[in-house]
Structure 1
């Protein structure tokens, strides 16, 4: 029997989302997707905010946006959705300076939600988020490593807290060394599934640059089972290399952002990876979603059709073809020879 691991784009619980949640149920932020989220065997998100009521806005460099959510509701909301791991390597973990980052780390640890990509030092930021799903008769051990190329001033070092930051360039020896170090630590947990969760590139860009495609392929060749990209606020195409699905950008899952009428940053998918009894991914299902009222919802028929067509168009240059199952797109992962486009 297959196990199903879900992946989302950015989960931003601050600002207006935080305001709305003070007057509605903990579950409300997940709209009518909650049952589907809770039905998964595992769930990995990019947490695009800090969980704290403390700290002051970062002003050491220009930062136009600052995202912070009250952990009194945000942590229970993550728990209710069944979130197993949060990628924290992004451009918002120090929005309210070090105290709020420390509160975030502590809140996730207390809730038993694994985390990766940020920490008190670069050494801690390189530690994987490790969790297990299923049972002793058919369980799966998962390890998630997380990196970003955003916001150099938020990078952790040997003595200061922050993110696991790299430049995403296969010719960059520092990147290769740092990523391989994180992989070594992840493999010490003996995972069945190795995930690379990457917050890379600028906002509102609909296609990955050639450098990201090269890094995605390199990660597949290094043994990553799925690349979970995010940062652009709009979803990008999917490529398959050596059997590894590369989600170049998962878009946004929940937030309060203004909507671009053409690129539709309010529409994306819940990406669900099926993993067989032998520990090998068998397919990736894309369930259309849309954001409304500072909550995520199952996409309306029109929005779902738009998202499916858009994903097909964006993925076609990579040689990626999808089947259809109800409202979802399905990508089979048994043989990727036909899914290997040119850089």
Structure 2
């Protein structure tokens, strides 16, 4: 095993709609823009896959659901493999955009490509099943769940997401999540990750209840809390020597850009971990989406990202250093 392991975490990777159309006319790796080589050089890469991988199915119409995302597996799988995606969470509000047929295609496509996933499954039990992956000899346990779109929740007989209404004061919520974390810990992983698609869109700060919930999750033994869903990045917190990434924003998509919140800007969140699973540091590399691909941010944009991250993390008293264009948090010195 190497002395240290570098694991990248991203926010939403949405490969459908205009991204899918662009990819019909360019190479599969084009979606990674100037970030391609950096992503491929990581020891592990964990993403939120914010779409289904299928060309089948009909748009979800059972409840109000205005946006529908799916990508053609013929290019999407090679793109994921090109940068070595190690694991994907499917616990989000778009995996059932085109119904159960497209969701089944997503499962079978990832399985055939040998890309592990969690957070959705063919039944409720499978949706809540933890993943275990090996990253440069490091055993990583992962649990994924969401509080978005209860209509997408898996049940005993139907596929869907690992859904829970997140409330740190609700015993049913704590029991549901606690049981999943206990099952993951039973595998004795070197590193335990919780990946959570939570909360409303376009919010720069997590509500107080989310902070309490994230703290509780860390107290259950989680080393890295990987949040996403808001479409804008939120602050990071060092809590009991564990990392809380409240929201990692958007990484690849075709979304309309808010001129103030700038949901096209975020980071690649790169965590350095020792061979024994101890988190050493977090390195945040500023990124920007352009033409349905992700790029390393230009200096002026990188400066904006760093300033916003400092502001959004100030309530957590997080201490940052700057190395090149990246923000760095030292955990284990």
Deviating runs (4+, > 4 A) in structure 1? none
Alignment partner of 2:176 out of 178, 183, 189: 178
- Give 1:90 deviation, angstroms: 0.4
SS at match of 1:263: coil
Distance across 1 between alignment mates of 2:313 and 2:299: 21
- The partner residue of 1:232 within 219, 230, 246 is 230
Query: What's the counterpart of residue 103 of structure 1?
Result: 105
Deviation at 1:159, TM superposition (A): 1.4
Which stretch of the first structure deviates more once superposed, 170-179 or 198-207?
A: 170-179
Deviates most, 242-251 or 168-177: 168-177
CA distance in 2, matches of 1:133, 1:146: 18
Partner-residue secondary structure (3-state), 1:20: helix
2:275 matched to which residue of 1?
277
Match of 1:57 in 2: 59
Instruction: Output aligned runs, 1:1-343, within 5 Å.
Output: 1-134=3-136, 139-334=137-332
> What displacement does 1:188 show?
3.3
For 2:14 and 2:24, locate their aligned partners in 1 and report how far apart those are by CA, in whole Å.
Answer: 15
Q: CA deviation at 1:197?
A: 0.4
Distance in structure 2 (CA, Å) of the matches to 1:70 and 1:29: 13
Shift of 1:180: 1.8
Hey, what does 1:339 align to over in structure 2? Answer: none
Task: Report deviation, 1:15.
Answer: 0.1
Question: Which structure 2 segments of 5+ residues have no match?
Answer: none
The alignment yields a C-alpha RMSD, in angstroms, of 0.9
Deviation at 1:4, TM superposition (A): 0.5
* Structure 1 CA distance for aligned equivalents of residues 171 and 298 of structure 2: 46
TM-score of the aligned structures, taking structure 1 as reference length: 0.95
Q: Which runs of 5+ in 1 are unaligned?
A: 336-343
The residue matched to 2:195 in structure 1 has which SS?
Answer: strand
Q: Is the 8 A contact 2:138 2:276 kept in 1?
A: no
Kept in 1, the 8 Å contact 2:272–2:279? The answer is: yes
